[in-house]
Amino acid sequence: MTVANRSVGDCDRLAASDQDRARPPEVSGVLWDRLDADAAIAVCTKAVEENPGSRAISTIWDAPYQKLGTRPGLDEADRTRALRSARLSYDDATKRGYVSALNDLAVLYENGDGVEANGAQAIELLKKAAQQGDPLAMYNLRSITGTAATT
């Protein structure tokens, strides 16, 4: 299946967030609870290696690293490595205008996952995403601050 001049492949099916409004309509998205981080990382790593620089692939598969990094029982070195990969991926995606990644990065800062907890940074990122119409960021911003974003 082709979407915006690219194939919808295993990486899309295993890693695209159901909350991502920018994902192609042909990609149903994966609920967080059903995300298989190991499988998604394996197929998405392969997809990126086969299609270096593909914006579509590199922006949809940041969450598996976050999911892996929050897995119960994971040793600290692997946890740190996974969450660092998530943060770097989210940072990169936000620089390229990927609004959903702002929310995801904010969650890392709010929870202190792989970064020093920083509520102010989390709120700033959520405000940016909410002002760009991201509904999950709007919800998270209201949950954290008790107020909605203003434009």
Torsion sign across C-alpha atoms 56, 91, 94, 28: positive
Instruction: Give residue 57's pLDDT band: very low, low, confident or very high (50, 70, 90).
Output: low
Q: Is the pLDDT of residue 112 over 80?
A: yes
Domain with 37, as residue range(s), is 2-145
% the chain with pLDDT above 90: 44
* Calpha distance 93→151 (Å, rounded): 22
Indicate if the pLDDT at residue 150 is higher than 60.
no
pLDDT reading at 55 higher than 50: yes
Whether the predicted pLDDT of 4 surpasses 50: no
**Residue 3's pLDDT band (cuts 50, 70, 90):** very low
In a domain, 115, yes or no: yes
Identify which has the larger pLDDT, 54 or 100: 100
**pLDDT (0 to 100) of residue 59:** 52
Q: Is the pLDDT of residue 148 over 70?
A: no
Name, in order, each residue with C-beta under 8 angstroms of 126's C-beta and a sequence gap of 6 or more. Answer: 102, 103, 106, 137, 140, 141, 144, 149
- Asked whether residue 81 is domain-assigned, the answer is yes
Structural domains in the chain (count): 1
In a domain, 80, yes or no: yes
Q: Is residue 100 part of a domain?
A: yes
CATH number at residue 48: 1.25.40.10
Phi, psi (deg, nearest 5) at residue 17: -70, 140
pLDDT score, position 5: 39
Q: What is the pLDDT of residues 119-133, one digit of tens each?
A: 999 999 999 999 999
Residue 151, in any domain of the structure: no
**Res 2: pLDDT:** 35
Q: Is residue 150 situated within a structural domain?
A: no
pLDDT digits (tens, 9 = 90+) for 61-111: 678 999 999 999 999 999 999 999 999 988 888 888 888 899 999 999 999
